[in-house]
Amino acid sequence: MGTRDDHDDDIDTDDDYDDDQELEFEDEESAKTEKWKEHYSSRQRILFVGEGDFSFSLSLAKAFGSAHNLVATSLDSYDNIGKKYSNGLNNVMELEERGCLVLHGVDAKEMSQHFFLKTQRFDRIVYNFPHVGFLYPENSHCQIQLNKRLLKGFLANAKALVKKGGEIHVTHKEGDPYNKWDLVKKAEKIGLALQQVVPFFKDNYPGYDNKRAHGKLSDASFLVGEASTYKFKLQTSNICNN
């Protein structure tokens, strides 16, 4: 398996050159026209948090024809992306070729202190299916507490990185035990206001492969079932601080 350094040392072939030219042309075209995919626009600066195999950010990059406005992050290291996911490294490579900045080892609970992210502000910050991994049974108190802590940390850090007027999106499964995570209550306590809740359909994002991301079945999908995207904004009283 390739390391990050092997990957950086790849030598361009003629085919790569043609592909690069094609992507550059796509970029120029898409810079002229704004493209929308569901809630997301090619003009928005978007931060993706807790990516699995990076197929969600890549799906948007393909829809936009460019990824220059995108920053995609994982908690996993680059090497772990290769070990855990069959398409992970290819997806990262394609994102980077399209102009996306890909960062690894980014902890959602501390990301506002990240050396690069702390210098940036985003129109959209997106975390699909936050989950700490299957450490205890899904319904157990310990597991719920850990997931609540992750949500709280993410929301507090996203609040520091979102632009005035921007939105923080959490896509979350509905029903028990997920409704015990108190997503909306946590967000409101932190100073975020719920704007909208919209049903989430995986098929709206071609190529997106939601991942369990933990243990021997890291590369397997989980059943999305009934899920929603929760959109939060800064409460108006917080806007002057941003």
208 SS3 class: coil
Among 72, 75, 117, 125, binds ligand SAM (CB under 6 A): 75
Q: Which C-beta is closer to ligand SAM: that of 145 or that of 235?
A: 145
Nearest residue to 76 via CA among 45, 49, 98, 112: 49
Interface pick for ligand SAM out of 71, 130, 168, 170 (rule CB under 6 A): 130
Q: Which is nearer to ligand SAM, 58 or 234 (CB)?
A: 58
Whether 75 and 51 have beta carbons less than 8 Å apart is answered as no
Strands (E), the chain: 36-37, 40-41, 46-49, 70-73, 101-103, 122-128, 162-173, 192-199, 227-234
Q: Please report whether residue 52 would count as binding ligand SAM according to CB under 6 A.
A: yes
Q: What is the DSSP letter of 98?
A: T
Instruction: Rule CB under 6 A: choose which of 132, 146, 160, 197 binds ligand SAM.
Output: 132
Q: Does 194 bind ligand SAM (CB under 6 A)?
A: no
- The stretch among 3-11, 22-30, 92-100, 125-133 that binds ligand SAM (CB under 6 A) is 125-133
Tokens (6 digits) for 226: 């009934």
Q: Which stretch binds ligand SAM (CB under 6 A): 10-18, 26-34, 44-52, 57-65?
A: 44-52
CB atoms within 10 A of CB 169: 24
Q: Per rule CB under 6 A, is residue 131 in the interface with ligand SAM? A: yes
Does residue 211 belong to the site contacting ligand SAM (CB under 6 A)? yes
Given a contact cutoff of 8 angstroms between Cβ atoms, the answer to whether 144 and 181 are in contact is yes
In the range 85-104, which residues lie near ligand SAM by CB under 6 A? none
Q: Which of 47, 57, 72, 76 binds ligand SAM (CB under 6 A)?
A: 76
Contacts of residue 65, Cβ cutoff 8 Å, sequence gap at least 6: 26, 27, 29, 30, 35, 42
Residues that bind ligand SAM (CB under 6 A): 49-52, 56, 75-76, 107-109, 128-132, 150, 210-211, 213
